[in-house]
Amino acid sequence: MSESFVQPSSLVLASRSPRRKNLLQQIGLRFESIASDVDEIIDIPVSPEEHVMILAERKARDVAFRLTGGVVIGADTIVVHDDEIIEKPTSEDDAVRILQRLSAQRHDVYTGFSLVEVPGMRTLTRFERTKVWFRRLDTDEIISYVQSGSPMDKAGAYGIQDDFGAVFVRKIVGDFYNVMGLPLSRFYCSLKEFTQTPPETDGIELA
């Protein structure tokens, strides 16, 4: 952890995601986790980057309203293929269908993250995009992976870390950690900026 960075006295992750918890621990942050309870449906057409930022901010604010102080982190990750958002699979058959669709194809992973300061509700929200290419997948390995249960809680029905899904990935362009659920470099720089100098513009940033 950089000596120039002083983390907030109270830092809260608005999620129970073990992957995001591990990533925050990896960069030495001390925090607690409180699951958000928000509707993740967006009723109006929005771009993928707007989608993840809206939901990340919605999650962070949901938890922030329950607190009396501190900084809340919200995050949301989606997979996009052929301009269609691919969410977490709803069943094993759905997971098989998703992986067959991504086989030998390129998809994009978007993660939005939001920082909300309590009690003032000052907010900074950003996103990151990573391009991912899959090799051609055999039906047998798809079915075996799905039967392991691992894909069922993951956007795009695969994990790139500590998971057999890692061998599906042929190439990535962009932040590896973004595919895991939080772009560490951009997140850390944003948190440092947020805690040291108030952003000129609060709210969603399309950058």
Active site residues: 76
The H or E element containing residue 26 is helix 18-26
Q: State residue 120 phi and psi, 5-degree precision.
A: -70, -15
| Rounded CA separation 34/62 (Å) | 10
| Rounded CA separation 168/20 (Å) | 21
Sequence-separated contacts (24+) of 148-152 with Cβ below 8 Å: 151/89, 151/95, 151/98, 151/99, 152/88, 152/89, 152/92, 152/95
Sign of CA dihedral 98, 102, 108, 111: positive
| Rounded CA separation 141/131 (Å) | 23
Burial class (CB in 10 A: 0-12, 13-18, 19+), 197: exposed
Please name the residue ranges forming H helices in 32-183: 48-64, 92-102, 139-147, 176-180
